[in-house]
Chains A and B, each alone.
Chain A
Amino acid sequence: MLAVDGISVRFGGITALDGVGFTVEPGTAVGLIGPNGAGKTTLFNCLTRRCTPDAGTVRFEGEDLLALPPHAVAGRGIARTFQNLGLFPRLTVRENVMVGAHSRGRTGHLAAALRLPRVRREERELREQADDLLRRLGLADVADHPASGLPFGTLKRVELARALAVRPRLLLLDEPVNGLSHGEVDQFADLVRSVRQDFDLTLVVVEHHMGFVMGLCDKVVCLDFGRKIAEGSPEEIQRDASVIEAYLGVAA
């Protein structure tokens, strides 16, 4: 479904990614792990066209992703969440989710200005779909609350709802449980598992919480200093000597 091949990104003298490649099969969940600064978020930014690699290719269902303008990525069925939340603080929770559904809107600006009835119907549909998602993720009670001021754990779910509103086939989660408490991590893991099933999602997850990654993912890719140092099943990765040395560490 997703094929990353030989991606390199340099910021000035720093090589953030150095010839990284891996594939993601439809319906699987792939975890990206590695120490801070290993290049995980940079890789995500390449996948969503926020950042253009200096070398390498990214193909999504055979299509060259790097040839797309950034706003077109959502329309292809790719959505992401952000490490530090990418929400719209002044908008209500419902509006945040409605914006997520925007890429599926059919009416353009001119049509929006000229053909009110159709636009209104479409807006009502967007609203209903947003409400469905909010109920699904237990957010119906805060639908009319502005996003700013809600607890962090709630906002993580709002962001998931916003990403799901894109109706993605590939969902990229950047540190989804970072900053959550123990109990919240387990709840969030259950939530991700159930939406993965219901929405038939393929996942790529960047996360430091090893319990979360190993419990969710079918395959794990480990990066260190911009290079891929290991790839395999969670069990293989946990036994891999280079991963243990670079990242997981050994018991003292």
Chain B
Amino acid sequence: MSAVTEFLQQVVEGLGSGAVYASLALALVLIYRFTGIVNFAQGELAMLSTYVAWQLVASGMPFWLALPVTLAVSFAGGMLVERIVIRPVQGAPELTVVIVTVGLFIFVNALAGLIWSFTVKDFPQPFPDGGLDLAGVRVDWSTLGIIGVVAVVMGLLYLLFQHTAIGLTMRAVACNPASARLSGIRVGRVLMLGWGLAATVGAVSGVLVAPLLFLEPNMMGGVLIYAFAAATLGGFDSPVGAVVGGLFVGVAETLTGAYVDVVGADLKVGVPLVIILAVLLVRPQGLFGRAAVERA
């Protein structure tokens, strides 16, 4: 295998994992835009959704039926979390909200361990084995499938936000809740909807990544760090940025692991941390984010 095909091979692998980071990053960005909250529990909620999918499949449901059911359950679950856990601290100081989401992280993690134990479970691979051979670069069906599913989710979200009345009300609430309420929008309901959507998008990332990582309650811990890096790189308030950031982080991770000997497989998780640090130092608003300007 030539050096070029080897390089392209790594890029393809990177895009595959990057798509997973992108969808979790997108979930983070959705909630941040709606509520200004950074949801540390986003990965754990995705993990819980993945267990729901696993349970459904384990009880005999075909995967492609279990998936929509899981997404629906996640949507409802996300709305419930907003209503029960987040609404009471809406408007509280940032630290309070951060601690509530960290508490939610720990609670969900422990809950999953309690119900399903901490032993690793095998998650079915929804995509067939094998793949394409493009000029010596091997693209697995699973990689292609992951990128495809994430692309479809992005497309649907774009249509929802830009081309429906409900998307318009959601964007209005994200911009200016007080004015939105005066225009007759039930802001609380829209926020619930936002959390439901974010949980659904997060669930997609969990279900896609589970066959690669094996299912266990701490599965999403690493992915969450990559998603944070992706969202920071793209700009925390930019959905497009989250996607671009996710793909970039995925590729950067695989390339560093493959070509920088010191890093290797063990230190790969350092890559997103370096990215977060570098972005915050050089361009805190990220690639696509808006810098917050305040009048002095």
Contacts and interface: CB of A to CB of B under 8 A. Distances in A.
B182 A74 contact: yes
Given A71-B186, A99-B180, A119 B164 contact: yes
Contacts of B168: 91, 95, 98-99, 102
Contacts of A107: 165
Nearest to B162: A95
Contacts of A79: 182
Interface string B139-175: 0000000000000000000000000111011011011
Contacts of B193: 109
Given A109-B189, A109-B193, A112-B166, A91 B183 contact: no
A71 B193 CA distance: 17
Interface in B207-245: none
A236 interface: no
B97 to A, nearest CB: 22
A119 B165 contact: yes
Contacts of B166: 109, 112-113
A88 B178 CA distance: 10
A88 B179 contact: yes
Contacts of A109: 166, 189, 193
User: Chain B interface mostly helix, strand, loop or mixed?
Assistant: helix
Interface string A117-147: 0010011001000000000000000000000
B187 interface: yes
A71 B176 contact: no
Contacts of B175: 88-91
Interface residues of B, number: 22
B130 interface: no
Contacts of A70: 181-182
Given A72-B184, A102-B185, A126-B165, A82 B171 contact: no
A90 to B, nearest CB: 5
B80 to A, nearest CB: 16
Contact of B169 (A80, A86, A99): A99
A162 interface: yes
A105 interface: yes
Given A89-B175, A90-B175, A102 B182 contact: no
A112 B179 contact: no
A156 to B, nearest CB: 14
Interface string A209-223: 000000000000000
A98 B169 CA distance: 9
B184 A82 contact: no
Contacts of A119: 164-165
A71 B183 CA distance: 7
A226 interface: no
Contacts of A98: 165, 168
A113 B171 CA distance: 17
B189 A88 contact: no
Nearest to A122: B165
Contact of B171 (A95, A105, A112, A123): A95
B183 A80 contact: no
A123 B166 CA distance: 10
Contacts of B186: 71
Given A105-B165, A109-B189, A112-B165, A88 B181 contact: no
A71 B165 contact: no
A51 B187 CA distance: 16
Nearest to A100: B183
A75 interface: yes
Contacts of B169: 99, 102
Nearest to A109: B166
Interface of B: 164-166, 168-169, 171-172, 174-176, 178-187, 189, 193
